[in-house]
Amino acid sequence: MAVTDEPRLQLHLEPREPMEVSELTAALGSLARQYQSFAVEHDLAKRPADARLLVSSVSPGSIDISLLPDLGSYLLSAGLLGSLVDKGEIVLKFAKSIKTLLELFQKKDGLGGDTITTKDCDDAINITKPIATHGGSQTFNTINGGVVVNVLTMNASDAAKILEAATQTKALLQNPDAETRQRVPLTWKRLDRDHANPSAKTTPDRALIEEIDTKPHAVHFTDDMAYLKSEMIGDEENPYQSVYFVDVQVSRLAGKVISYRVVGFHGKEELEADD
């Protein structure tokens, strides 16, 4: 059987605007890492390093990437012939495991008792970031003998929700005592209209969140949430005349608020004019 005829997982991306190469490679790297965990869990490899996910083809136009598991070492160690292994079933199970991971971060009632790691959060962030940041949609299909099965399709809104939930979950795992406030109203007091620069040591942006403190404070965006700044103010002629509903992590020093880190955005409304 030719490589192009092998059962495979297809990642189909239709971004609205060009994406950075690093964003695409990060997404593929996370899919490879998820496959390593999947292969070890299902006894397809003894250790993660033995599990390889191969790129079998890349199609022009919209981004189509075909991925297939390298089962050579597994078949050799198990003394099996390739014809005796249902590769299509393996590919479908792996695709469903990706769907399960991403859907964990869409649960309305939180992750509950689900076991999740910071690496899982990183992988969910990397997989969804290209579409969350650049718009469009992405689809996971399995292809086996010419039969295409759609496993998961997400638009930019879906991807953004998963990315935000994964970012918040990662922060909680890394710092379970962090103070996080959800859907609080924020108004800008000073604002740089340029894109957020997560690597900058200081920020010119300052905002007021009266529910937390009566004074304005510096506002930061994490690497993964940097796109939110454009989403919040990109179409605003005067962002000072709107209230923004955000999720923030509060940084304190000696009990006093010193800054906010925006990790979620839930919409905005125009401020009502004073009588």
> Does the structure show a pLDDT above 50 at 275?
yes
Give me the residue label for tokens 């198990």: 78
Q: Which amino acid is at 110?
A: G
The pTM of the full predicted model, rounded to 2 decimals, is 0.77
Quickly tell me which residue has 């950075």 as its tokens.
20
Tens digit of each residue's pLDDT (9 = 90 or more) over 160-188: 999 989 988 888 888 888 888 999 999 99
Q: What are the tens digits of pLDDT across the range 75-93?
A: 555 544 444 467 889 999 9
Residue 256 belongs to a domain: yes
Give residue-wise pLDDT tens across range 96-110.
999 999 999 987 555
How many domains does the chain contain in total?
2
Please answer whether residues 192 and 230 qualify as being in contact, where contact means their C-beta atoms are separated by less than 8 angstroms. Answer: no
Q: Could you tell me if 127 and 185 lie in one domain?
A: no
Q: Is 218 exposed, middle or buried (0-12, 13-18, 19+ CB in 10 A)?
A: middle
Residues 127 and 211 in one domain: no
Q: Is the pLDDT of residue 138 over 90?
A: yes
Q: Are residue 42 and residue 148 in the same domain, yes or no? A: yes
Q: Do 150 and 42 fall within a single domain?
A: yes
User: Are 131 and 15 a contacting pair, CB within 8 Å?
Assistant: yes
- For residue 111, the model assigns a pLDDT of 60
Distance, CA of 154 to CA of 138 (rounded, Å): 6
Residue 160's domain comprises 3-174
Tell me, yes or no, whether 165 and 52 share the same domain.
yes
pLDDT band at 6 (very low <50, low <70, confident <90, very high): confident
Q: Are 114 and 170 in contact (CB under 8 A)?
A: no
Would you state the structure tokens that stand for residue 198, as one six-digit string? 């997560």
Domain boundary among 113, 139, 174: 174
Which amino acid is located at 267 in the chain? Answer: G
CA 262 – CA 182 distance, rounded (Å): 10
Strands (E), the chain: 8-15, 52-59, 63-70, 136-144, 147-155, 179-190, 206-208, 217-221, 242-253, 256-270
Distance of CA 253 to the CA centre of its chain: 30
Question: What pLDDT is recorded for position 75?
Answer: 56
Per-residue model confidence as pLDDT tens digits over 53-62: 888 888 866 7
